[in-house]
Amino acid sequence: MERNYLLLTPGPLSTSASVKEAMLQDWCTWDKDYNEGVVEVIRWKLLEAAGLDGREYTTVLLQGSGTYGVEATLGAAVRPEDKLLIVANGAYGKRMGTIAEYYHLNYALVNLKETELVTPEVVERALEEHPGVTHFAVVHSETTTGLLNPIEGIAEVLRGRGVTWIVDAMSSFGGIPIDIKGLGIDFLISSANKCVQGVPGFTFVIARREKLAACKGVARSLSLDIYAQWEEMERGHGKWRFTSPTHVVRAFAQALKELEEEGGIAARHARYCRNHEVLVEGMEGAGFRTLLTPEKQSPIITSFLYPEAGFSFGDFYEALKRRGFVIYPGKVSDADTFRIGTIGDVYPEDFRRLVEAVKEIRGV
């Protein structure tokens, strides 16, 4: 089937025809062909892609979008007597604060500017200013701007402090190599419709076994209890507690296979970097400037400043859509921007075509 348009957005994103085809069959959630043959395979393949040992790490899949996974993790990992520190530099970091508020967690939210990195120094200072922190949460790739927080440096600050580390790697896992074990990450959250290139419908958490086991009885929500969900998956060999999004799960299994065939996360990262390079070079040639300087920028999504006062994003969006490209509005509070994603089943040649379309629309 021909594509309606290319989605240059950070999820849902453009998926391959084979990923979509994987949804053309109905699967029984009780049958072992589904639980053992699809769900369990996904669970170990996620660990394999992340380079983790199944005796030390484990995975749990949960119905819902990425936010459900972040909420489920915070709600099950942080006990009433614990203290959570969140350092945010965008909408997704702030959303963790909103979750903490809903759950009446004992927490502190340090809010940085959206163009400022969560540096090791910032984390160190925040830990000094908020004594007694037991849990630390941060976003890896802040999709609000396209900024990439330096989790390697942050890991050095956290090392040896006994703090449980929760990373929202929603828009980076699968597209950027992350040494989960080496960095000491305890809970990493992502979802089906981002860099693994599946379709939307579930979220997953990669967790250190002993940390997830310690979540027993903590969750304040039945459907978002990742411990109970994990226990059921372990005991039932891939069985979900409630109706599992079978078609989406099948599509994800295919997407993981395609990630493997591409050469794994490192190879996918290299492709996204090329996409990003072609995009930025071309857009600069068409008179656009990026919001962020290159050292802060991820290859996932890029924010571009409006080229002049009075620029109509709506008209630009429609003109690009007519030419087969769908882009994203901006999300930054203090600058006029729009965003273009470089993740999904999209390639450098797609961005060359996009740049041609942009030049035609802009008359340059």
Ligand X SMILES: *Cc1c(COP(=O)(O)O)cnc(C)c1O
Which residues of the chain form contacts with ligand X (CB under 6 A)? Answer: 10-11, 65-67, 92, 139, 143, 168, 170-171, 191
Please, which residue, 146 or 282, has the CB nearer to ligand X?
146
- Cβ closer to ligand X: 88 or 283? 88
Which residue, 147 or 286, is less far from ligand X as judged by CB? 147
CB of 198 to ligand X, least distance (A): 12
Query: Residue 50 Cβ, how far from ligand X at the closest point, in Å?
Result: 17
Q: Which residue is nearest to ligand X (CB)?
A: 66
Nearest residue (CB) to ligand X, 199 versus 286: 199
Minimum distance of ligand X from residue 183's CB (angstroms): 17
Comparing CB distances to ligand X, the nearer of 145 and 290 is 145
Least distance between ligand X and beta carbon 69 (Å): 8
Nearer residue to ligand X within complex by CB, 66 or 344: 66
Measured from the CB atom, is 200 or 238 closer to ligand X?
200
User: CB of residue 112 vs ligand X: minimum separation in angstroms?
Assistant: 15
Q: C-beta of 338: minimal distance to ligand X in Å?
A: 16
Cα–Cα distance, 297 to 281 (Å, whole number): 14
- How far apart are CB 169 and ligand X at their closest, in Å? 8
